[in-house]
Structure 1
Amino acid sequence: MNHPETTAITAGRPPVEGDAPLNPSVVLTSTFHSGGPIGYGRYGNQTWTALEEAISELEGGQTLAFSSGMAAISAVFSILPIGAPIVASNQGYSGVMSLLNSFHASGRLEVRFVDVVNTDEVIAAMKGAALVWLESPTNPCLDVADLPALIAAAKKLGIGVAVDNTFATPLVQNPLAMGADIVMHSVTKFLSGHSDVLMGSLSTNDPALLKRLHDSRSFNGSIPGPFEAWLALRGLRTFPLRFNKSQENAKELVVRLQGHSKITRVRYPGFGAIVSFEVDGTAEQTQQVCDSSKMIAHATSLGGVESLWERRRRWPIESPSVPEQLIRLSVGCEYVDDIWDDIEQALSAI
């Protein structure tokens, strides 16, 4: 098996033959001649397939690409029965939290919210559940779950496990190898990495589960565009290089942030390119810090080559457990001293 740095570059290429292109083509069609495995433009596309093959090799399971990360997540929940009990973090990505809260309120699902860091609490909530939805590290507080223990406990009880691997990426952890049933990515983030694509993916080793998820994608119409799939695959070619550089920068910035007088807490799991920190000030002053950056983009997203930050509680749907003074910083690939200089001058605004 190749190392991921090699897989990212070599996977999802066309067959090698005389005068064949090195890169896959953008297949812009909704209609296919009969007699092939695709059948119709909502069921598949050769450009999606190239991207799916590359992610499959990185995650170690068969992959489906979706129009967004939330589309991929929604597909997982869509195959659960009405009222099915699921276990999920009480603090995580605000889009998922909003969706699960609405499902719980409507009776679509019975959601048991837990502290994912408390392994005993999570395991205790599993009894009778249909699915355990895990996000590790969590967004934006960067709490880390004991994935091996939680996955093993769920499997012992015959419960499905899905893991959002967007923050850690397959360079850090491989949940399918731990026994998880599904791995989800917001491909928008680190995998594509250039802030120009909305896309999601699901990977699994279970052929029957893959078929159900494929049907959900096809019949709900949550398919990616071929050009977006091509852009995502082009971005994925440099994913390990980008991620490793951003992670290197993040580790250095954590040391500097921990020594700054206007920072009360730094959250970092020891890996990855996301750093969350809390400002010694009010919510308004924290917002002022974000507004004062000159190089770091004040924007909602993460995982791109450029550094981004924001005060997460500026969004009404963000979990109230997230501190008002917390800034989530997605560290990019710029020269680390330039990032730090911008952080320092922004903090000097308060």
Structure 2
Amino acid sequence: MESRRVYPSCMTQHASQHPEFLAPDTVVVAGGRPDRTHDAPVNPPVVLSSTFVGQGEVYEGDRAYGRYANPSWDPFEETLGQLEGSELPALVFASGLAAVSAALSLVPSGGVVVMPRHSYQGSLALSQDLADRGALTVRPVDIADTEAVKAALEGADALWLESPTNPMLEIAEMGVLAAAAHDAGALVIADNTFSTPLGQRPMNSGVDVVVHSVTKYLAGHSDVVLGAVVTSDPALRTRLLSYRSLRGAIAGPFEVWLALRGLRTLALRIERSQATAMELARKLQEHPRVEAVRYPGLPGDPGHERAAAQMDGFGSIIAITVRGGAEAADAVVEALQLWTPATSLGGVESLIERRRRHANEPASVPEHLLRLSVGIENAADLWADLDRALQKVQD
């Protein structure tokens, strides 16, 4: 697929002097670098300070205190904002769920949120908790059913998009749904964790706010817990910044520095893991012990045509159902030697888990569904391990 070009609106001075547009795989490397002065560091430093020098009146934009801002956040926030197509920096949060919480705070008290029935578990749990306390009403929908989602938007205050969904990998018709939501007067929020801005840029489809679990692909090494929110609307960003500052949902400077270091290899990691995911998905759909495979890159997948039209790559997550039910699925996981049985996704290592082992996973997710997060290991080794485990269960 053809690489998009993005304007370096949030990059450091030396980069923004280039008149040409930069591709996203360049931005992840070049964004957020210090100015090119003699003896300057190539990488931005970690600033470990809880407060900042200030005299006289405190003005808007002053750092003042570590709960409001930190210089270590700036390079990451600027780069992610640019990658998502915003002229405003992103806002980094203490976790992906903290970012989700901030985005949901934009829904008015007692408002209605249309949300995919299959979504990030934390988003579902938090929205239900808010619903139980009367803070909002949730209308669950099959996000792949465009007409059903449009019907659910009547009187709604927000549409929550996740595409591909977790863990069912359904594809939303993002641009059509964003337009319908705006026609209904609803805010549009999208979780772009699975795809990353290298796979799709939801704001180009009319989305107002984009949420990320930075823990996953952006940081990419399973060693930090962070979240982020991006918007092009200054008023919305001000509200989100206020939410972060007042509730203390702030990230540690060293964790954000690690996330920026991880971001530098995002394009390479995704290129490798996506190619491997496609190879594994093709083989898995032919395996006698596999009942079904969901992967948007497969021509027979229900979401393939939409994904091909609106995404730059099909991602690195595969969902399979194993013949023999939950017991057989668990046995496959236990038999694996290279794949790591663990929750989360988006790291350099390949992870696998049976999603219904979590008590609050929606009942519509099959008991015998395994979610595979494909890493950057050798594809042949990953396949050999999967095949061996599946064959062992057969025996």
Same fold (TM over 0.5): yes
Q: 1:104 is paired with a residue of what secondary structure? A: helix
1:337 Cα shift? Answer: 0.4
- Which one of 188, 191, 198 corresponds to residue 171 of structure 1? 198
Q: In structure 2, how many angstroms separate the alpha carbons of the residues matched to 1:298 and 1:332?
A: 13
- Which one of 304, 313, 325 corresponds to residue 282 of structure 1? 325
Residue 122 in structure 1 maps to residue 144 in structure 2: no
**Contact (CA 8 Å) 2:103, 2:211: kept in 1 or not?**
no
Q: 1:158 is paired with a residue of what secondary structure? A: coil
Which letter does structure 1 place at the counterpart of 2:206?
Answer: G
Cα deviations by residue, 1:130-150 (Å, 9 ceiling, x for unpaired): 111110000000000000100
Q: In the TM superposition, what are the counterparts of 1:1-350 in structure 2 within 5 Å? A: 1-34=21-54, 37-61=62-86, 62=88, 63-270=90-297, 271-350=314-393
Q: In structure 2, how many angstroms separate the alpha carbons of the residues matched to 1:103 and 1:216?
A: 16
Q: In structure 2, how many angstroms separate the alpha carbons of the residues matched to 1:59 and 1:337?
A: 33
Q: In structure 1, how many angstroms separate the alpha carbons of the residues matched to 2:333 and 2:251?
A: 33
TM-score (norm 2): 0.87
Cα deviations by residue, 1:259-317 (Å, 9 ceiling, x for unpaired): 10000100001210000000001212211111111011100010011100000000101
1:349 Cα shift? Answer: 2.8
1:102 Cα shift? Answer: 1.9
Segments of structure 2 that go 5 or more residues without pairing to the other structure are: 1-20, 56-60, 298-313
Runs of 4 or more off by more than 4 Å in structure 1? none
1:158 Cα shift? Answer: 2.5
Q: In structure 1, how many angstroms separate the alpha carbons of the residues matched to 2:320 and 2:367?
A: 11
Q: In structure 1, how many angstroms separate the alpha carbons of the residues matched to 2:183 and 2:62?
A: 37
**Contact (CA 8 Å) 1:163, 1:182: kept in 2 or not?**
yes
1:37 Cα shift? Answer: 1.9
Segments of structure 1 that go 5 or more residues without pairing to the other structure are: none
**Contact (CA 8 Å) 2:99, 2:228: kept in 1 or not?**
yes
Q: In structure 2, how many angstroms separate the alpha carbons of the residues matched to 1:183 and 1:102?
A: 22
TM-score (norm 1): 0.98
1:128 Cα shift? Answer: 1.6
Q: 2:352 is paired with a residue of what secondary structure? A: strand
Q: 1:47 is paired with a residue of what secondary structure? A: coil
Which letter does structure 2 place at the counterpart of 1:60?
Answer: G
Q: CA RMSD in A?
A: 1.0
Which letter does structure 2 place at the counterpart of 1:143?
Answer: E
Q: 2:51 is paired with a residue of what secondary structure? A: coil
Q: In structure 2, how many angstroms separate the alpha carbons of the residues matched to 1:299 and 1:234?
A: 23
**Contact (CA 8 Å) 1:297, 1:306: kept in 2 or not?**
yes
Q: 2:251 is paired with a residue of what secondary structure? A: coil
Identity rate, percent: 50
Q: In structure 2, how many angstroms separate the alpha carbons of the residues matched to 1:226 and 1:253?
A: 37
